[in-house]
């Protein structure tokens, strides 16, 4: 077997959360920084906490709004056919 294939294992890896919570675990890196932990994650706390560091939700809402607006302006073939039939029915009734 080859020697030195596996990375070094740190049994005292310190994990630090953005909320200030810190705990020790085992890992192949000596220190880990995380945004959410079990002390501040909404699933564990039961509190609704909105975490959006990269503005992802706002960007999605903007894109969805643009697509909805474009879809409302642009009509599909089926809609045009239905409107044409409705006009023909109105003309024949009048």
40 is known to lie in a ligand binding site: yes
Cα 89 to Cα 94: distance, rounded to the nearest angstrom: 9
Average pLDDT in the 45-53 region? 70
Overall average pLDDT of the 64-92 stretch: 75
Domain ranges of the chain: 10-88
17 is in an annotated binding site: yes
The CATH class of 10-88 is: few secondary structures
Diameter over CA atoms, the chain: 92
The pLDDT tens digits for 16-35 are 999 899 999 999 999 999 98
Q: What percent of the chain is helix, strand and coil (3-state, nearest 5)?
A: 40, 20, 40
Q: Could you report how far apart the first and last alpha carbons of the chain are, in Å?
A: 92
Percent of the chain clearing pLDDT 90 (strictly above): 29
User: Any known ligand binding at 19?
Assistant: yes
13 marked as part of a ligand binding site: no
């Amino acid at each position: 077997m080859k020697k030195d294939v596996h990375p070094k294992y740190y049994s005292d890896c310190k994990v630090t959360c953005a909320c200030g919570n810190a705990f020790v675990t085992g890992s192949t890196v000596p220190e880990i920084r995380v945004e959410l932990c079990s002390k501040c994650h909404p699933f564990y706390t039961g509190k609704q906490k909105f975490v959006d560091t990269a503005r992802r939700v706002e960007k999605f809402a903007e894109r969805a709004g643009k697509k909805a607006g474009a879809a409302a302006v642009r009509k599909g073939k089926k809609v045009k056919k239905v409107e044409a039939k409705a006009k023909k029915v109105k003309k024949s009734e009048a």
